[in-house]
Structure 1
């Protein structure tokens, strides 16, 4: 294939444009915010799980407290009824039975109130745990939202850079021979880099030095010949200095 040397040199601009697009895509895939978001998401989920566990424990102890309060109310209601019955009078046997029951109810009430006091202390501690867990969830979600915001801002910048470079590339391609662009794109798709400047004895695409025979072939080629690196296959763009 042949192409005017000046046209071939314009491939270097195209290659640099493609290199910039590659950097943009690499940057998009490797944004530090992505790893930060992943870590923050896992941390936020762990904090949410801890909150659910704390709420569940609080709910269980709260039900226990309400059950005990209900039982105490029942005992008190029974005591009130028995006292009213005693005040109404009755046989000595009935009064004796009521007195015995009141003593039993008093002991029962004491036991229930002790249990309720212990449960209420545990309930208060668990309520504190729930409040702390909520604060931790809020803090972790704020951290996640901040990382997501910074990621979105970075992506906007990358999208802008990509759009600008893509538009520049389209203009470059329009000014190049179609067959040369087809060859360049095919090489780039296979090797990653489509063209590079011959810098002394080194290929600018793969950075490998050409051996003596390959270098002689390149320098013996006509100025408008499209030559390629024997190592990476990229189009070797020559200047007047490298052509000698």
Structure 2
């Protein structure tokens, strides 16, 4: 056990002024603290900030804030430039789309006009063809020959002899002949015309350009021959009622 120097003083030395001073000095030395010194870190008051250091810190903070502000300004400008560029591109695309749409509309108008002209031409041709195919003859011979001319254009077979033979047997050459007693008449569809054709058959085998009248001589011959070609190969193969 360590005994301090103060403990070794005798009572007289401790009570004298010199002794007290010595005791105080010894005690201070024993504690490791010299009179008048700071006594190390123990009991030391917190260090006050150095003025110069504080100023440097403030300057650094301001510099950092300025730098941050500059970076923010750059970022803002970049965003603005990007937005402006995107807006410019959008306008450019919109302009292209508008031009493309106008171009497509122009093409559509041209196509519609071409189709209308083509339709008008077809209508004119149809009217002209119908006029050419209208019944002009006024006798059986003329009707058969006119019918054969149309049949040739349409690829419908039938000789003059085969057509006339069946006409004479069916109607005697009367384009207005009507059968009002056979099975067709009883069903409500009497046979009519030169080749005694019922209305449903005439409608199904009618040839474009001829009159849509079952009693029209040329129209009746052409439709009947078209039907005979489909069912029997030709009117020439028909030797009885069909």
Larger radius of gyration: 2
Instruction: Judging by fraction of residues, say which structure has more helix.
Output: 1
- Fold-level similarity (TM above 0.5): no
TM value normalised by structure 2: 0.30
Higher relative contact order (CA 8 A, sep 6+): 1
TM value normalised by structure 1: 0.30
